[in-house]
Amino acid sequence: MKNQNGDDQTEAAGARSMNMGSKDEVLNGNGSHLATAEQRLRQLGIKLPAPPEPFGIYAEAVQTGNLLFLTGMLPTEGREAKFIGRVGAELDVEAGRAAARLAALNGLAVAKQHLGSLDKVKRIIRLGVAVATSGDVRDQPKVADGASELLQDVFGKDKNPCRLVYGVASLPLGTSVELEIIFEIAG
């Protein structure tokens, strides 16, 4: 599929490449090659929140060698938990997806604080998603896609991680989602 006007590709924030029908490539500002993670954030109009502070005695980011481990990424704004409840009871799947996206945004903010730039991320190795559910809920993968889609939009499909999604009875602060993310860091 080809655009009728070449300028249309880069005009809108988050413009997608039409090269070979791909919806997974984001062009840089001049449309010549793939954008970096930091450029994609700008193109998508995403402003990262302030990195959340731990709600206990732990480090939210630990780097060993070329791996950066993030744990306890919750859907919070400042010190306030958002999306309180369980999917299938107090929250529906769409609210769970929004919670997963917010938790992923917090994860990106922590990673950027630790690394200085998200452009240092070579690959996302693993995404673990715990979803607080009630009863016979089976839509945990749909909830987790809220985080997966954001990470793919920022880093590209070629950096998608393996993923573990599971339902739990409750999570810290009563939130509906908690993420674990492992990044491979360049250099």
- HSE, CB side, 13 Å, CA atoms: give it for residue 90: 13
Domain ranges of the chain: 8-35, 61-185
| Confidence (pTM) | 0.83
- Per-residue pLDDT 10s for the chain (187 aa) are 333 333 333 333 333 333 333 334 445 455 545 799 999 999 999 999 999 999 999 999 999 999 999 999 999 999 999 999 999 999 999 999 999 999 999 999 999 999 999 999 999 999 999 999 998 999 999 999 999 999 999 999 999 999 999 999 999 999 999 999 999 999 8
| Backbone angle region of 128, left / alpha / beta, with phi > 0 → left and psi within -120 to 50 → alpha | beta
- Contact present, 161 and 103 (Cβ < 8 Å): no
Considering the four listed CATH numbers 3.40.50.300, 2.40.50.140, 3.30.1330.40, 3.30.70.360, the one that applies to the domain covering 61-185 is 3.30.1330.40
Q: What is the pLDDT of residue 99?
A: 98
Q: Which amino acid is at 77?
A: E
Q: What is the pLDDT of residue 4?
A: 38
Q: Which amino acid is at 84?
A: I
